[in-house]
Amino acid sequence: MKIGILTSGGDCPGLNAVIRGSVLKGIAIHGQEFVGFRDGWRGVVEGDVIDIPRTMVRGIAKQGGTILGTSRTNPFENGGGPDVIKAHMERLGIDAIIAIGGEGTLAAAKRLTDAGLKIVGVPKTVDNDLDATDYTFGFDTAVQIATEAIDRLRTTGESHHRCMIAEVMGRHVGWIALHAGMAAGAHAILIPEQKASIEQITEWVKEAHDRGRAPLVVVAEGFVPDHMESPHSERGLDTFGRPRLGGIADQLAPEIEARTGIETRATILGHIQRGGVPTAYDRVLATRLGMAAIDSVVEGRWGTMVALKGTDISHVGFEEALGKLKTVPQHRYDEASVLFG
């Protein structure tokens, strides 16, 4: 059996560990062959592949990024579609596809599966926003990177008695902000799931400042203050029609400074959260998910995604994975908000 692997959407620490886990188990246990589609769905649409022998995955679990490359290509546009992809798979002798990606990737995989292609999914997103899995690989690494960066912002903020705002990724959920903010001891954590007024934010900032602290605010890129209707987005839409978020910290900083008189600086961490080597947790989780994806292929579980439930790996349908976002529940935010101000 020949299996094609693709990594699509935003890159993520742990992608290479998934590839390694799938290839090693597939070869050692089932005698399978593997090819990789270059640059995500682009490689699938164009039939652009490379062979993945066992030697190619040697030692790659610790590497960030993806050895296959990635893109945000929509497989239904630019000459793509089920018929084109099926023709490439037949020409190349590829029997099935393992699609490693987030919401956009898995939504495309579901449409293609519905059209008759043999595809299984592996959830990938630093945002941790897929409801059908307890955690996604890449999230732990992103939180660790964000926490370290925020720790550094705190020291310079304290030196200058400034208020520091750190903007983290997460799209429409606040998991990275919540975890990194709690870990770094933020005086306010602002997430998409919770509205907050400028007045409330400045109150938290002043409370910390009045105690002699340099106020530290962590904000998720998708946070919507109560005077705004939608998340701040200046960069248009991606190929799947979703807004590219980012920049809310730059909007908040002058407001806070004007209202409090405290010098305020904003730092947008951006893609630094996706880079570098994955944490040990993410390497293990990604490897386990990659190995489980081989089980899905062998068992013919087309249209399903491997998922983490507690400490066990399970298999869920794409429709369950895409049904809704996994948002931060109220009790988790209430738990963190005790520490604000």
SS3 string of 180-207?
HHHHHCCCEEECCCCCCCHHHHHHHHHH
User: How far apart are alpha carbons 273 and 168 in whole angstroms?
Assistant: 8
Question: Residue 339 pLDDT more than 70?
Answer: yes
CA atoms within 13 Å, Cβ hemisphere of 18: 34
Q: How many other CB atoms sit within 10 Å of the CB of residue 77?
A: 12
For residue 111, how far is the Cα from the chain centroid? 21
Which residue, 306, 268, 270, 331, is CA-closest to 119? 306
Rounded alpha-carbon distances, angstroms, from residue 257 to 183, 197, 263, 275: 25, 15, 6, 31
Question: Residue 333 pLDDT more than 70?
Answer: yes
Non-local CB neighbours of 244 within 8 Å, separated by 6+ positions: 233, 235, 236, 237, 238
CA dihedral 312, 169, 131, 140 (to 10 degrees): 10
User: How far apart are alpha carbons 111 and 96 in whole angstroms?
Assistant: 15
User: 190 in helix, strand or coil?
Assistant: strand
User: 115 in helix, strand or coil?
Assistant: coil
The values of phi and psi at residue 276, to 5°, are 80, -175
- H/E element holding 188? strand 188-190
Q: Is 91 annotated as a binding residue?
A: no
Based on the number of CB atoms within 10 Å of its own CB, is 87 exposed (0-12), middle (13-18) or buried (19 or more)?
exposed
The answer to which of 228-232, 242-246, 291-295 has the lowest mean pLDDT is 228-232
Read off the pLDDT of residues 84-98 as tens digits, 9 standing for 90 and up.
Answer: 999 999 999 999 999
Read off the pLDDT of residues 151-165 as tens digits, 9 standing for 90 and up.
Answer: 999 999 999 999 999
Structure confidence at residue 227 (pLDDT): 80
User: How far apart are alpha carbons 21 and 153 in whole angstroms?
Assistant: 37
User: How far apart are alpha carbons 81 and 103 in whole angstroms?
Assistant: 18
Q: Given the DSSP bridges, would you call strands 96-101 and 119-123 parallel, antiparallel or unpaired?
A: parallel
First and final CA of the chain: distance in angstroms? 58
Question: Residue 234 pLDDT more than 80?
Answer: no
**Confidence grade of residue 242 (pLDDT, cut at 50, 70, 90):** confident
Q: Is 72 annotated as a binding residue?
A: yes
Question: Residue 232 pLDDT more than 90?
Answer: no
- Residues with catalytic roles: 127
Structure confidence at residue 243 (pLDDT): 76
Q: Is 288 annotated as a binding residue?
A: no
Structure confidence at residue 238 (pLDDT): 64
Structure confidence at residue 78 (pLDDT): 83
Q: Is 113 annotated as a binding residue?
A: no
Looking at per-residue confidence, does 320 or 257 come out higher? 257
Question: Residue 240 pLDDT more than 70?
Answer: no
Q: Is 234 annotated as a binding residue?
A: no
Structure confidence at residue 22 (pLDDT): 98
Read off the pLDDT of residues 22-78 as tens digits, 9 standing for 90 and up.
Answer: 999 999 999 999 999 999 999 999 999 999 999 999 999 999 999 999 998 999 988
Q: Strand pairing partners for 99?
A: 6, 121
Q: Is 10 annotated as a binding residue?
A: yes
Q: Is 145 annotated as a binding residue?
A: no
The answer to which of 88-92, 142-146, 179-183, 241-245 has the lowest mean pLDDT is 241-245
Q: Is 255 annotated as a binding residue?
A: no
For each of the domains in the chain, give its residue range(s) and CATH number, in order of start: 2-137+278-322 (3.40.50.450), 139-274 (3.40.50.460)
How many residues in the chain?
A: 341
The values of phi and psi at residue 223, to 5°, are -65, 135
What single letter denotes the amino acid at residue 306?
A: V
User: How far apart are alpha carbons 109 and 304 in whole angstroms?
Assistant: 9
The mean pLDDT of 257-276, rounded to a whole number, is 95
Non-local CB neighbours of 130 within 8 Å, separated by 6+ positions: 102, 103, 106, 123, 136, 307, 321, 325, 326
